[in-house]
Amino acid sequence: MKEKKIIPLIVAGVLIGISCFSGCVGPWAVDTYGWEHIDFGGTAVRLWGQLTISESSDNWNEGFAWDTQYHQNWEDYAYHVWADNHAGLGLFSVDIDNLTRTQEYHYRAYGEYLKGASQYRAGADMIFIPGGPRVVTDNATGIGFTQATLNGNLWHMGGAASCTVYFLYGTDENALNQQTTPEIKTTVGPFSASLTSLVTNITIFYKAVAENDADTWSGVIMKVTPGQPLIISRQPAEIGKNHAIIKAELWETGGTPTCNVWFVYSDDSPNQLDQSTTPQLMNTTGTFQAYLGNLTASTTYWYRAIGDNGVAQGMGDIIEFSTTPTAEIRTTGELGKIYKPNKYTLDDDLASRIPVRYLRLLEKYPILLKLLQQPHIRAFLMDLH
């Protein structure tokens, strides 16, 4: 019984903490975010920070501290400057230049609370090297039963005369233990590497990597499955009150001359796409679409494209859209978007420590889910047992 009394008080405390009438400043009020290049020479960068969702920018002055070494206290950093850009959603930034390309810098976002007694909050220490490169990982191409071509794109040289690029890959996403032959690039742009002797239907995870004299940078980890069709779900071509035209693209057949494609969809849940369109046989790559009729007005639907070449099955992302409330037919603008599960959904361990009636409250107010995932509150909850 003791635990059930404590946890509701914690939830209530979170509710009070985010109230615009409380005047309270949470310990996580300011977050330090990433950085980006703003010149070709690798001597100027833009630093990003953000006020958490429960804070109003009207109540804060935001800034950054940076130095060539880490300090426990943000006030001890050698340089301080107030932010000069605001991009909405609490995001703020500052441009700094005349940096040394190969020097490692530490930086932290901070804020001064202006309503009431002056208070300061600072985000975590992060690092940037202004002369480091930037690279991204792209979709694989040339997918066959036992081969695939990995693709990347070198976006920024970091002011270096050349960058070495390659891919790390493997069958374990957490252990990319193989490397392609390095390639030296003297200009930005795409690059690729072909893999052969792969195993059909065994997924390969990979990421692009770029190195120069200042730093090493990696793109996100992507995956490719030899023999599996590569399907890309696209946003709808048309949405009406009771119908929609949904689209997708077959990028790779997976090594076969033909591939069956279709869509699965639902208005119940993105996790239960229990309706299906008629399969279409494609003998070349390209776009395809399907007409959905007898839909319900002002209703959210989810769909994804499927491809099956007889050897393996591939699928695209889940797309979310809503039908119109009237006879209006929409054909332009953003008609749909990729569905992304709520990243603040509580895991089983944390959910088990909160009574069901409060879990329902959290489902109704997603902002509380975000706050409950903050390290301070999460650690407290996890220590209750």
Q: Which domains does the chain have, with CATH numbers?
A: 26-128 (2.60.40.10), 134-224 (2.60.40.10), 230-338 (2.60.40.10), 348-382 (no CATH)
Percent of the chain with pLDDT over 70: 81
Report the pLDDT value the prediction gives residue 348, as an integer from 0 to 100: 52
**CA separation for the pair 197, 191 (Å, rounded):** 21
The tens digit of pLDDT for each residue in 156-174 reads: 999 999 999 999 999 999 9
pLDDT average, residue stretch 185-199: 97
Measured CA distances, 219 to 4, 129, 240 (Å): 45, 16, 39
Q: How confident is the model at residue 14 (pLDDT cuts 50, 70, 90)?
A: very low
Report the pLDDT value the prediction gives residue 38, as an integer from 0 to 100: 95
Q: Is the pLDDT of residue 15 over 50?
A: no
Strands 126-128 and 148-156: unpaired
Can you read off the two tokens belonging to residue 213? 């004299």
Report the pLDDT value the prediction gives residue 370, as an integer from 0 to 100: 52
The tens digit of pLDDT for each residue in 216-250 reads: 999 999 999 999 999 999 999 999 999 999 999 99
Residue 242 burial by Cβ neighbours in a 10 Å radius (0-12, 13-18, 19+):
middle
Residue 100 burial by Cβ neighbours in a 10 Å radius (0-12, 13-18, 19+):
middle
The tens digit of pLDDT for each residue in 64-76 reads: 999 999 999 999 9
pLDDT average, residue stretch 1-29: 47
Phi, psi at 6, each rounded to 5°: -75, -45
Q: How confident is the model at residue 85 (pLDDT cuts 50, 70, 90)?
A: confident
Given CA atoms 233, 239, 242, 245 in this order, what sign does their dihedral have? negative
> Which three-class secondary structure string do you get for 249-316?
EEEECCCCCCEEEEEEEECCCCCCCCEECCCEEECCCEEEEEEECCCCCCCEEEEEEEEECCCCEEEC
User: What interhelical angle do 375-382 and 2-18 show, nearest 10?
Assistant: 170
Q: Are 22 and 56 in contact (CB under 8 A)?
A: no
| Type of residue numbered 167 | F
Q: Is the pLDDT of residue 145 over 90?
A: yes
The whole-model pTM stands at 0.74
Other C-beta atoms lying within 10 Å of the C-beta of residue 266: 17
Report the pLDDT value the prediction gives residue 338, as an integer from 0 to 100: 92
Q: Are 283 and 310 in contact (CB under 8 A)?
A: no
Report the pLDDT value the prediction gives residue 55, as an integer from 0 to 100: 79
pLDDT average, residue stretch 208-218: 97
Q: How confident is the model at residue 210 (pLDDT cuts 50, 70, 90)?
A: very high
